């Protein structure tokens, strides 16, 4: 009898207080090193470009003299850039995200970060850190945008970009340099490209589905082949760009026999702009844009999107954005693809 009473008392001491307002579902205990922060149930938050996204960070208790610091891990330089710091009463924003971030603060334990008008560069890993003297702790979350990776080279041929030029070229085409995770996912979905290109962290890769002689030989297994980190100033390669859907926009085709200058004017006559390469890829991927007509784009290239492959539209078996390269801008052979925000 005394033994049963002793066990019962020990159980009561070990049990969490009945007044606790934050209870985790059965079978998902919080890691023992987190005393104040709740481990997120879903560490990846999925969103779209132009949307509003919230990264959850909730405290189970409020320690004395604490601060919560949000930061973003940048793969290009392996640094954490501070976004916002709060002590529960006041907060201060930092960096380029400053105009578009706020604390959700739906209750006094809530330190979740809300990002408005999500941009391509917002994708990545974020850290919510509780700063409390010797008891600092943190959680990591990933903001994920569904998107498409495409290889890109300029009009003067392959392997012309150093890292900084590749980064700028992607941005000019409504995209950004892809991360390794984005390139790897694109490879699993069928991206097969023999030319090596820069990605965001300054390394160089190329994705191969079908091993072949011009691309490392037939004996090498399929995969994302790597050249590793290269000199960002001196070494020159192509680029792998990443773009995503943009809410409230449309890409459409204008038929005609237009030179490059006339193509831009035709779009402006409709209250639109000549489409960028990233915008055409986005429309192909997310709006299933399918046309057999070559059309001018803003970089002077001529391309057309195929969602349903067929013999008379290039004859290739897989969907994709086909390219005629960079013809003379005086040629009056093609129509144009236009981009407009609705």
Give Cβ neighbours of residue 41 (< 8 Å, ≥ 6 apart). 25, 28
Look at residue 213 in the predicted model and tell me its pLDDT: 87
CA distance 61 to 307: 52
- Cα R_g (the chain), whole angstroms: 26
- 109 and 22 in contact (C-beta within 8 Å)? yes
Q: Could you say which DSSP state residue 246 is in?
A: B
**Exposed/middle/buried for 174, CB within 10 Å: 0-12, 13-18, 19+?**
buried
CA distance 209 to 221: 9
- 82 and 69 in contact (C-beta within 8 Å)? yes
Candidates 141, 143, 173; CA nearest to 57 is 141
- 89 and 149 in contact (C-beta within 8 Å)? no
Please state the domain extents for the chain.
37-145, 147-243, 245-341
Candidates 206, 215, 214, 185; CA nearest to 285 is 185
Look at residue 30 in the predicted model and tell me its pLDDT: 47
CA distance 296 to 326: 9
CB atoms within 10 A of CB 12: 8
Cα three-residue angle 209-251-195, rounded to 5 degrees: 25
CA distance 307 to 225: 27
Strand 53-55 relative to strand 113-115: parallel, antiparallel, unpaired? antiparallel
Residue 130 dihedral angles phi and psi, to the nearest 5°: -90, 120
Model pTM score? 0.83
Look at residue 76 in the predicted model and tell me its pLDDT: 65
Q: Do domains 37-145 and 245-341 have the same CATH topology?
A: no
Look at residue 77 in the predicted model and tell me its pLDDT: 66
CA distance 48 to 36: 31
Strand 238-244 relative to strand 176-177: parallel, antiparallel, unpaired? antiparallel
Candidates 111, 141, 118, 149; CA nearest to 48 is 118
37-145 adopts what CATH topology?
Answer: Immunoglobulin-like (2.60.40)
The CATH code of the domain at 245-341 is 3.10.100.10
Q: Could you say which DSSP state residue 297 is in?
A: -
Give the homologous superfamily in CATH for domain 147-243.
Mannose-Binding Protein A, subunit A (3.10.100.10)
Look at residue 215 in the predicted model and tell me its pLDDT: 87
Look at residue 204 in the predicted model and tell me its pLDDT: 98
Task: Name 114's bridge partners.
Answer: 54, 102
CB atoms within 10 A of CB 318: 9
Task: Identify the segments of the chain with pLDDT beneath 70.
Answer: 1-32, 76-78, 134
262-317 pLDDT tens trace: 999 999 999 999 999 999 999 999 999 999 999 999 999 999 999 999 988 988 89
């Amino acid at each position: 009898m005394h033994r049963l009473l002793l066990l019962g008392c020990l159980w009561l001491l070990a049990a969490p207080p009945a007044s606790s307002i934050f209870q985790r579902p059965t079978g998902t205990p919080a890691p023992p090193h987190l005393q104040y922060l709740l481990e997120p149930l879903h560490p990846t938050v999925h969103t779209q470009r132009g949307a509003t996204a919230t990264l959850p960070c909730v405290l189970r208790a409020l320690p004395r003299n604490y601060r919560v610091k949000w930061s973003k891990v940048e793969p290009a330089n392996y640094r954490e850039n501070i976004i916002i710091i709060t002590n529960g009463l006041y907060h201060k924003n930092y960096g380029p995200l400053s105009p578009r971030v706020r604390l959700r603060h739906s209750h006094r334990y809530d330190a979740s970060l809300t990002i408005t008008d999500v941009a391509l560069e917002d994708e990545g890993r974020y850290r919510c850190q509780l700063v409390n003297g010797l008891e600092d702790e943190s959680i990591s979350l990933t903001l994920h945008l569904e998107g498409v990776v495409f290889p890109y080279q300029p009009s003067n041929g392959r392997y012309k970009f150093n890292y900084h030029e590749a980064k700028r070229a992607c941005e000019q085409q409504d995209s950004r340099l892809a991360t390794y995770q984005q390139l790897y996912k694109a490879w699993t979905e069928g991206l097969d490209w023999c030319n090596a290109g820069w990605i965001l962290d300054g390394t160089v890769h190329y994705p191969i589905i079908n091993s072949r002689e011009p691309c490392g030989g037939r004996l090498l297994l399929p995969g994302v082949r790597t050249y590793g980190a290269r000199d960002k100033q001196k070494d020159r390669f192509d680029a792998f760009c990443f773009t995503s859907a943009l809410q409230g926009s449309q890409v459409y085709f204008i038929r005609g026999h237009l030179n490059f200058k006339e193509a831009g004017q035709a779009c402006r006559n409709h209250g639109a702009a000549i489409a960028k390469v990233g915008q055409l890829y986005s429309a192909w991927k997310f709006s299933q844009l399918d046309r057999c007509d070559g059309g001018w784009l803003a970089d002077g290239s001529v391309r057309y999107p195929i969602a349903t492959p067929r013999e008379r539209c290039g004859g290739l078996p897989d969907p994709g954005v086909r390219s005629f390269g960079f013809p003379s801008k005086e040629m009056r052979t093609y129509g144009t693809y236009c981009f407009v925000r609705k």
